[in-house]
Amino acid sequence: MSPDFRAEWRARVDAELDRLLPAAEAWPANLHRAIRHSVFAGGKRLRPILAMAAARACGGDLEQVLPAACGLEMIHTYSLIHDDLPALDDDDWRRGVPTCHKAFGEATAILAGDALLTHGLACLAEYPEGEKFDGAKVRVVRAVAEAIGTAGMIGGQVEDLEAEKDGPGAERSIGRLEKIHAHKTGRLIRASLAVGGLLSFAPEASLSLLDAYGEKLGLAFQIKDDLLDVESTREELGKETGKDSAHGKMTFPGLLGVEESRRCLEEAIGEARAAAARLERGDGPLGDLAGFVAARKN
């Protein structure tokens, strides 16, 4: 597998997102511009690419999985837009451009997030077309909705806000930090892999391996995120750096130190690679993506 596949798949995802999202001129134009501002701010498209990689590993058809994979990116972008709002994380920059509420105002940002969540879940119910996918699509919507619901992503966001609000007396432990991340980012990453597997009619054993891979990849992703926050510049990262420690946020390097965090990152990547090796013959996209998550610069 040539590592170029990431750039190629990313381009396919971008083209498909452009096709699936309402045109910027269509009524209500200002809202559609806000949606496109955030979706096309240059994300890594990790979640759609993971869904496609899972489909490839399970013998599925990439073209069939592509629109549902884009639904995952819409849902991810919704979560970023709402997390960035003044009432939540209050961030001004994201992916190198002003956040949605900075560029379009708070009301529009709230509605743009709502719209992306709605449209994203709709894509999962709608694609791939054809009756033979009806049962798989019902399972897909259920899996993703559970992953991003109150016992999943939203719960992680609540816990994160509460941990920050608790102040100096708060419980600061690796257990609490891992719980936040496992929910806030881990669950959607795992669900993305499930989408690729379910739409490829993968057997339960493969779905379990995909989930194990996703769990370790998600953990690695977050440790790397925290390491980037202390080791990168704003130019490299496209958003403010050093913000975590300035806000007294729990982070892996803050709790474990940089060296131990790097060791945990390597360990998680090793476990993800092991699960990938049981799903893919030789070099496959899942194995490659594990390496990419550990090495990425933003």
**Minimum separation from the CB atom of position 59 to its own copies (A):** 22
When the beta carbons of 115 and 199 are compared against its own copies, the nearer one is 115
**Minimum CB distance to its own copies, residue 298 (Å):** 26
Half-sphere exposure of 153 (CA within 13 A, CB side): 25
Position 115 contacts its own copies (CB under 8 A): yes
Please state whether 59 falls in left (phi above 0), alpha (psi between -120 and 50) or beta. Answer: left
151 contact partners, CB below 8 Å, separation of at least 6: 183
Applying CB under 8 A, the span of 57-65, 144-152, 201-209, 218-226 interacting with its own copies comes to 144-152
Which of the residues 232 through 261 are near its own copies (CB under 8 A)? none
Give SS3 for 270.
Answer: helix
State yes or no: residue 25 binds its own copies (CB under 8 A). Answer: no
Number of residues that bind its own copies (CB under 8 A): 49
Residue number, 62 or 158, with CB nearest to its own copies: 158
* Minimum distance of its own copies from residue 192's CB (angstroms): 16
Q: Which of 1, 40, 128, 159 binds its own copies (CB under 8 A)?
A: 159
User: According to CB under 8 A, which one of 2, 4, 25, 134 is a site residue for its own copies?
Assistant: 134
The DSSP output letter for 212 is: H
Q: Per rule CB under 8 A, is residue 67 in the interface with its own copies?
A: no
List the interface residues with its own copies, window 74-103 (CB under 8 A): 78, 82, 85, 87-88
Closer residue to its own copies (CB): 44 or 139: 139
Which C-beta is closer to its own copies: that of 35 or that of 286?
Answer: 35
In the set 27, 203, 204, 295, which binds its own copies (CB under 8 A)? 27
Select 132 or 281, whichever has its Cβ closest to its own copies: 132
Q: How far apart are CA 285 and CA 297, in angstroms?
A: 19
Which string of DSSP letters, residue by residue, matches 50-99? Answer: HHHHHHHHTT--HHHHHHHHHHHHHHHHHHHHHHTSTTTT--SEETTEE-
Cβ 219 vs Cβ 182: under 8 Å: yes
Encoding tokens for residue 90? 């209050």
Kindly list the distances between the CA atom of residue 172 and the CA atoms of 175, 249, 295, in Å, as whole numbers in the listed order.
8, 9, 28
Any bridge partners for residue 97, and if so which?
94
d(CA 42, CA 96): 8
Round to whole Å and give the CA distance between 124 and 75.
10
Binding site for its own copies (CB under 8 A): 22, 26-28, 30-32, 35, 78, 82, 85, 87-88, 105-108, 110-111, 113-115, 117-119, 121-122, 125-126, 131, 134-135, 137-138, 141-142, 145-146, 148-151, 154-155, 157-159, 161-162
